[in-house]
């Protein structure tokens, strides 16, 4: 087991992707601090891990406040004697278009995803640095944070911010031997279950059947378990040389996302006036516009489902 003797925290791990991460970390030998806001859900997650032969303890608290972050770290240390791994997965959704999004919709999502990631990583990094632990920080991003998505201003801002923080933390924590990476999962979740495009894949998953190859291969869309292996690998000593990266995984696909880089560079002596841009801009800018949002190929006819 590649994580024997390690101790991990996984936020938002009572169900879904977070539970899959916690279960895989435990399967690989790590003791796990499970976190959820629902006491019964957290208890069920701990019971499932223990039933499979793993070790787990629950912390029932909302992610975001510094107090929760410190409680998570303290629980790991008090219960298992150390902390080696942090996976920041906790999140909420409040989707709506820009002109209908309230302050509360925006603040809640940013507080849980972005601030919650910051407070938890800060608490874990302090412990790791003070105790000379070459730890692993794994933050969960999203394709929405990489490319945008209609109706998700708050979520896109938070997930893009997480990727930016991780690149910074990789620099700041390098000397301490602590790695920081972003994982971009693509998997069947409560959110994708409501999207007609994924209906055939969700149906198969619900029946315990393999998803059609179109989803697993062409879209890189799979189950929570398909993502969990990458989490365990990045948490291991074998991944000591990987830091500051955004790595996508889903179904049969693994991807390394590029950092933002300029796609064209032009120079003009004296600088770029409005008049110069009006004259030369179309050839430089318009011809190099980048796409936004995700583009899905047409569903094969046999995978199409009638929409309600």
Active site residues: 142, 155, 159
* Distance from C-alpha of 48 to C-alpha of 291, rounded to nearest angstrom: 43
* Distance from C-alpha of 74 to C-alpha of 72, rounded to nearest angstrom: 5
* Distance from C-alpha of 257 to C-alpha of 182, rounded to nearest angstrom: 10
In this structure, are residues 212 and 184 in contact, taking their beta carbons and an 8 Å threshold? no
Length of the chain: 308
The CA-CA-CA angle for residues 298, 294, 256, to 5°, reads: 115
* Distance from C-alpha of 268 to C-alpha of 302, rounded to nearest angstrom: 54
Cα distances (Å, whole numbers) of residue 88 to 13, 69, 162: 9, 10, 10
In this structure, are residues 136 and 234 in contact, taking their beta carbons and an 8 Å threshold? yes
């Amino acid at each position: 087991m590649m994580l024997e003797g390690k101790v991990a925290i996984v936020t938002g791990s009572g169900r879904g992707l977070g539970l899959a991460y916690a279960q895989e970390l435990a399967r690989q030998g790590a003791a796990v601090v499970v976190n959820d806001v629902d006491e019964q859900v957290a208890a069920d997650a701990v019971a499932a891990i223990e039933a499979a032969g793993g070790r787990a303890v629950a912390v029932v608290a909302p992610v975001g406040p510094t107090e929760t972050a410190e409680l998570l770290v303290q629980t790991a240390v008090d219960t298992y004697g150390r902390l080696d791994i942090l996976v920041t997965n906790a999140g909420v959704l409040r989707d709506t278009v820009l002109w209908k999004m309230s302050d509360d919709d925006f603040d809640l999502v940013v507080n849980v995803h972005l601030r919650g990631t910051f407070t938890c990583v800060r608490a874990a990094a302090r412990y790791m640095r003070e105790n000379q632990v070459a730890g692993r920080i794994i933050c969960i991003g999203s394709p929405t944070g990489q490319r945008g998505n209609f109706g998700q201003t708050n979520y896109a801002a938070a997930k893009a911010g997480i990727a930016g923080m991780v690149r910074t933390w990789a620099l700041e924590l390098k000397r301490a031997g602590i790695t920081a990476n972003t994982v971009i999962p693509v998997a069947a979740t409560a959110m994708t279950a409501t999207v007609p495009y994924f209906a055939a894949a969700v149906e198969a998953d619900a029946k315990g059947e393999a998803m059609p190859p179109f989803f697993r291969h062409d879209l890189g869309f799979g189950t929570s378990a398909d993502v969990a292996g990458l989490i365990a690998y990045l948490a291991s000593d074998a991944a000591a040389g990987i830091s500051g990266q955004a790595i996508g995984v889903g179904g049969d696909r693994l991807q390394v996302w590029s950092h933002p880089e300029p796609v064209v560079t032009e120079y003009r002596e004296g600088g770029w006036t409005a008049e110069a841009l009006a004259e030369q801009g179309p050839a430089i800018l318009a011809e190099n516009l980048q796409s936004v949002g995700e583009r899905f190929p047409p569903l094969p006819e046999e995978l199409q489902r009638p929409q309600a």
